[in-house]
Amino acid sequence: MENGSARKFRIRRIALVVVAVAVVLLVSVVPFGISAYVYESNFGSRLQSAAFMERTADEFPGLSVREASFASDQGQTLASYLFTHADAGMDESGAGAKGVVVIAHGLGGGCNSYMDVADRFARSGYAVFAYDGTGNDRSEGDAVGGLPQAVIDLGHALDTVEQSDELGDLPIMLFGHSWGGYAVGSVLVDHPEVSAVVSVAGFDTSAAMLESEGRQMAGDAINLLLPYLSLYEHLKFGAYADSSAVQGFASSSAHVLVLHSANDGTVPPATG
């Protein structure tokens, strides 16, 4: 029969195990679960362009659009659009263009709110290849997924352009805004053939943007979740979670123009 001392020792040991498990749950599992919830609350759904931002090619005289699609990383079909202009010396396939400009849109919908940008480039003699990212507007995907998805989708868009009979031999330039601004810089690491980039209100890394947004919402308390947010994003996206626009610029010989407003409240200049 167990004596009193042995019983007390066993109870004490069980209590220590229970406390240790509770501490582990408190400092790792619970924050990780909260971080996963926060991440998916922001990126775990589809996004649709606001009606007041939607534009069509019909609004721009002479602008033609040819619709198509391509597959991204999980086989999801992304809607794509080739814009050309009748008065710019090229046909609707892009043949005769000076080059091709690929547009990477911002977070919050697809590429149709950049129709004026497409028109400006097309009028200047460039074929314009635009697309709706995963989980946006007319593209497949149950959700946007996360910020690194923009880099993945743009990489597949570039592969599609380069495999095109009409566009494959043309100089390639990139135009990206916000989420797309981050993508057009980051993608250069794997696409050194790009000759020029315009990044408007972009940001350097997903981690920097998550910290910036989190700090605006939760103050310094976001510091407790940042390691777990990073871990969750790495589990979802692997090495793409480390994508950096600045590293992309440094690894490329492309001409780069960075535009950023000093009073940008969504992507502060320090984050951009």
How do beta strands 100-104 and 127-131 pair?
parallel
The confidence score (pLDDT) of residue 25 equals: 45
The confidence score (pLDDT) of residue 209 equals: 94
Residue 264 and residue 269: Cα distance in Å, rounded?
A: 7
Cα dihedral 111, 115, 119, 121 sign: negative
Q: What is the DSSP letter of 105?
A: -
- Give the position of tokens 């391509």: 70
Query: For residues 99 and 172, is the Cβ–Cβ distance under 8 A?
Result: yes
Tell me the pLDDT tens digit for each residue of 59-109: 999 999 999 999 999 999 999 999 999 899 899 999 999 999 999 999 988
Domains of the chain with bracketed CATH: 1-43+207-241 (no CATH), 51-205+243-259 (3.40.50.1820)
Give percent of the chain with pLDDT exceeding 70.
89
Average pLDDT for 163-177: 96
Continuous segment of H or E residues that includes residue 20: helix 4-24
